[in-house]
Structure 1
């Protein structure tokens, strides 16, 4: 999904319409600009918009914070409606990529999250849109599992001995601790045993392969949760796949950096209008999914050291591999 443009933006427009402000309609370019000049939060986007175009004449200065909060609350409700009706589409050809990975024996996990409190709705919609067969074959986790971004080192842990559990979960030999961690928090749509964990993923190397997809490929401005290397290591440990054999496909620098630090192979597929952004932690960059872009064979070739599997036409939206 591109939850940023196809979800949040549409929900904002519906929120404005619901309060009679039909003249406000955020196009994709406008929304992308707002992401760049705001703090990325829902209220920040509304504030940045009216600070640019001017506030409504009938709105007193003292009433602006309440107005911004109301619009954001309405937007969240509209976003939930969109997700419940599966009206936020998957990104083009991503279903084919995931299906090919599952068919090749890879363990596929989705980590779902967005700026508001609808992570579960987001995950559930993704699973429904993938269909019963593919949706049942992928493991789905949400950002609700991660510690808050503003968590202090002295804050009380949400579960007993959380830091110890995260540390233990980081190693492949501590998979039981990682599973306890994940189950104690919350997972959405997680399968039972990861099918194909002992397969070679089509690479012919006799090693399990994991594909982790970060639907901040879905998220607007990142997540309010902190995605750390320890957190990713804990989730990967539940798949029985070594971190060195796991590709993390993400759209945010925070996820890419955490994946790199955890020993995963980070690949970026930026959201729309962010293709020219800087992603220093990415080992490869693709303009999208499907033929000529990110496919499972190309991702697997990258993981196996075949950098040529990710080259593409510079003007055609293909992928580029970065050697280190």
Structure 2
């Protein structure tokens, strides 16, 4: 059964009427007259996102057409139309999305071990000091999971005698908080290098007309840690690159519909309710998939936004700002979580190994690289990944 939305007016969502006889969260049949808005939340696609015309399909006042959007199981909607868009703009064929940590800079190689030691000192843990061999051994045994590294270490040397057994989790969170603060300060005050070949990679992409999007939205302590890293690219490059942080995600059309309320504030109340229900269903589905993959049992609250939800929203926002479909983007990731988000929405991804993940396998990635340039990651290989 399909939901029929008939609209009229000269701009935006000025007037929307919803047919109460047929509502479905899986398929929407939308009749558009004049300048209209097509809202589809269940499986949003950024195809029509060009030059701030997010989700808006414009036609001449006298024209009228019917669009059917079906939610495919892959998470990408298929669209059938009876006429072509008369004013469609040209769009790039490919966009490259870059994570920050592990991609722009191998922060963990240069400062992570030192940040842990500073955290231990600040918390008065004089017996805890990670030499490089100890640190690398913990990274290998815990596959880079930092809380597990702490667990393995203190199980080995003994936990603080004053720490009750039931407070181990809160203790580890305190260590992680101090470690993040120390790492942020380390990145800000030290002259740490970008990954070799990164600048040439970005220059090659921009010269070829390929948009570059840098994702800072789901980084830990995003502002303090990512700003000094991104600024190392230089003002000339930054003027031609789009940075997608938390604010950009919230302003994106998908972000407003799934993460916020502003997009539905001007809609008919019944349509707004359908939007919220579809958004909650999407959150529940994502959370269940992650729980299944991690083989853990979780109590899921659909009113909250988990880390994977934020990653998916950032990736979709990145595609929006680049003006391409999500499947026309290639994510260069430095983390497993980024790969999970990309796989969830059908975005091709390449993993760039860092010192933290040098021995980790990444089955979700289309390719695994050790660095930029030469035999490793180049723009031509990104294009090949996209074409495959």
With structure 1 as the length reference, what TM-score do the two structures score?
A: 0.59
- 1:111 shift after superposition: 1.2
Q: Which among 275, 295, 298 is matched to residue 378 of structure 2?
A: 295
Find the aligned partners of 1:105 and 1:299 in 2 and give their Cα distance.
14
* Stretches of structure 2 lacking an aligned partner (at least 5 in a row): 1-104, 251-257, 265-273, 280-305
- Residues 36 and 103 of structure 1: is their aligned pair in 2 closer, same or farther, counting only changes over 3 Å? same
- 1:250-265 correspondence runs (5 A): 250-265=333-348
Q: Which among 88, 113, 137 is matched to residue 9 of structure 1?
A: 113
- Residues 269 and 73 of structure 1: is their aligned pair in 2 closer, same or farther, counting only changes over 3 Å? closer
- 1:110 shift after superposition: 1.1
Number of equivalenced pairs: 237
The answer on whether the counterparts of 2:342 and 2:349 sit within 8 Å (CA) in structure 1 is: yes
Residue in structure 2 matched with residue 25 of structure 1 by the alignment: 130
The answer on whether the counterparts of 1:115 and 1:224 sit within 8 Å (CA) in structure 2 is: no
Deviations 1:117-168 (A, max 9, x none): x111232122211122223322122368779xxxxxxxx9543457949x89
Q: Which among 227, 236, 241 is matched to residue 138 of structure 1?
A: 241
Residue 123 in 1 paired to residue 226 in 2?
yes
Q: Which among 240, 246, 249 is matched to residue 329 of structure 2?
A: 246
- 1:109 shift after superposition: 0.6
The answer on whether the counterparts of 2:333 and 2:351 sit within 8 Å (CA) in structure 1 is: yes
Find the aligned partners of 1:280 and 1:97 in 2 and give their Cα distance.
24
Q: SS of 1:271's equivalent? A: coil
Find the aligned partners of 2:183 and 2:377 in 1 and give their Cα distance.
28
Deviations 1:7-31 (A, max 9, x none): 4333112222444627502524134
Residue in structure 1 matched with residue 201 of structure 2 by the alignment: 97
Greater per-residue strand proportion: 2
Residue 237 in 1 paired to residue 320 in 2?
yes
Residue in structure 1 matched with residue 63 of structure 2 by the alignment: none
Deviations 1:234-265 (A, max 9, x none): 33022112334321111333322432443432
Give RMSD over aligned pairs.
Answer: 3.7
- Residues 52 and 46 of structure 1: is their aligned pair in 2 closer, same or farther, counting only changes over 3 Å? same
Residue in structure 2 matched with residue 112 of structure 1 by the alignment: 216
Find the aligned partners of 1:145 and 1:47 in 2 and give their Cα distance.
36
* Stretches of structure 1 lacking an aligned partner (at least 5 in a row): 148-155, 169-222, 306-324
Find the aligned partners of 1:83 and 1:159 in 2 and give their Cα distance.
35
With structure 2 as the length reference, what TM-score do the two structures score?
A: 0.51
Residue in structure 2 matched with residue 270 of structure 1 by the alignment: 353
The answer on whether the counterparts of 2:340 and 2:364 sit within 8 Å (CA) in structure 1 is: yes
- 1:81 shift after superposition: 0.9
- 1:229 shift after superposition: 4.5
The answer on whether the counterparts of 1:123 and 1:140 sit within 8 Å (CA) in structure 2 is: no
